Every structure is written in structure tokens, then in C-alpha cells.
A = this chain, B = another copy of it.
Amino acid sequence: MNDYSQLEKRLNYTFRDKQLIIEALTHKSYKKPYNNERLEFLGDAVLDLIVGEYLFKKFPKSDEGILSKIRASLVNESGFTLLARKIDLGSYIFLSLAEENNNGRDKPSLLSNAFEAVIGAVYLEAGLDTAKTISIKLLEECHPKIDLQSLSKDYKTALQELTQATHGVTPSYEMLGSSGPDHKKEFEIAVILDNETIASAKGKSKKDAQQKAAKIALEKLKG
């Protein structure tokens, strides 16, 4: 039996209704009359609002296109997996033996969905403000610097996730060269996948060029 009281300490929230936290932690493979999918549906919307409002207030001058992009870089499977790992959520999930042996406790989809379900459960029992306090604390711990850079960071991550799914490999980046005077240098970087250059881009720094190249590669691969 998982001792979810440790999880409650990590969340700094104790559930009054223990069935609610049990449901939030129950993966559908566990074959109970309930599982965490309904709470995940609710938690997904709760988190969208919490992160949306957080960005709305943190960036009072940014237009909604920017806010949407930053949110999309945080509110997704890999983003929530990060938060789930921070509270060691995997250890507390109820799942089947088969799923357990299949490394289920460390699967991004499983962790991300359970995280949404836990926040959905907190929201149901304690309301939006409590869900907000818990989520924002975790978000800020996992993303010490939320800004437009954290947005572009996402292209490399997104590309890596995509190519692992489609090609079973991770892309590599290769510097093609640099040009321009020292104070205005430009770097050109290529993205290599399966020994083939799939995109290249120039940028003001190596990092910037990598992100731009990853973005182009993503667009190409997604057709």
C-alpha cells in the first residue's frame, strides 16, 4: 500500500476525503471501478487557468500571442512531468504490475496525467486558491526563470520528443560556421538526424541558432 501521507507533506496539503487522493493516484491499469482520468480532465483545465493567470499578471505588457506561447511551453506533458517528479509522484501511483514492470512509474504520460489529477482533486476539495498556491510554488521551483527564453528552449525539447517517437533517435547539432565582425557575430548551426542535415539556421549565439534550427526542423518534420 502506497503511503500517500508523504505525498500530502510534499504538497503541503492534507486531503479530508482520502478517496479523492486515492482516485487521483489510480492509473486505469489498476482495474478499480474508478481511475484518475476524470480528475485529470478537471485538473487540466485548472492548470491551464492557473498558469494562464500567472503569466497574465507576470507579463502585463505581453500580448496574448506571447502569453499563449509561453503557456504552451509550460503546460504540456514534459512540463507537468517535471512538476510530478519534483514531488516524486511516481512512487505514489497505484498501477498494475504489468505497467509497473513496464517502467510505468517513470512514464511521462502517466506522471503528467496523475499530476493533473492531483491538482484536479485539490481544486475540487479546497478550491482554486489552494490549487494555485501548490501549482505556482512547484512551477517556480522547476522553472526559476520563466520568460521568452523558456519558450524557445521548448523547440529543442519538442524536436527531441518528436524524433524519439518517429525515428527512435535524438537529433544532434553541428556548428557550420560563424560570420560577421566580433561585436555582431552570427553563428550557423545544423540539425542532424540519422546522419542527414534536416535544417540549419543562423543566430546571434550558438544557443539562439540551435533553437531556430530546431524550430525549422520541427516545422519540416510535422509537414
User: Which A residues fall within an 8 A CB radius of B?
Assistant: 37-38, 40-42, 44-46, 48-49, 52-53, 56, 63-64, 67-68, 128
Q: Using Cβ atoms and an 8 Å threshold, which residues of chain B touch A48?
A: 45, 48-49
21 A-B contacts (beta carbon < 8 Å): A37-B63, A37-B64, A38-B56, A38-B63, A38-B64, A38-B67, A40-B64, A41-B52, A41-B56, A41-B67, A41-B68, A42-B52, A42-B53, A45-B45, A45-B48, A45-B49, A45-B52, A45-B53, A46-B49, A48-B49, A128-B128
Please give the distance in Å from A40's CB to the nearest CB on chain B: 6
Q: Which residue from B37, B42, B46, B64 sits with its C-beta under 8 Å from A41?
A: B64
Residues of B within 8 A of A45 (CB): 45, 48-49, 52-53
Residues of B within 8 A of A52 (CB): 41-42, 44-45
Give min CB distance, A94 to chain B, whole Å.
18
In the bound complex, what is the Cα–Cα distance between A68 and B68 (angstroms)? 21
Q: How far is the CB of A110 from chain B (nearest CB, A)?
A: 15
A128: chain B residues within 8 A (beta carbon) = 128
Complex formed: what's the CA distance from A22 to B67 in Å?
A: 21
Q: Which residues of B contact A64 (CB under 8 A)?
A: 37-38, 40-41
Quote the shortest CB–CB distance from A146 to chain B (angstroms): 16
* Residue of B whose beta carbon sits closest to that of A62: B38
A49: B residues at CB distance < 8 A: 45-46, 48-49
CA distance A128 to B129 in the complex (A): 10
- Give complex CA distance A46, B68 in Å: 14
In angstroms, Cα B68 to Cα A40, docked, is 11
A54 to B44, CA, bound (A): 14
Most chain B CB within 10 A, of A38, A40, A44, is at A38
What's the minimum C-beta distance from A130 to chain B, rounded to whole angstroms?
A: 12
Complex interface: chain B residues within 8 A of A67 (CB)? 38, 41
Residues on B with beta carbons closer than 8 Å to the beta carbon of A37 = 63-64
What CA separation (Å) do A54 and B63 show in the bound complex? Answer: 30
Contact between chains at A56 and B68 (CB < 8 Å): no
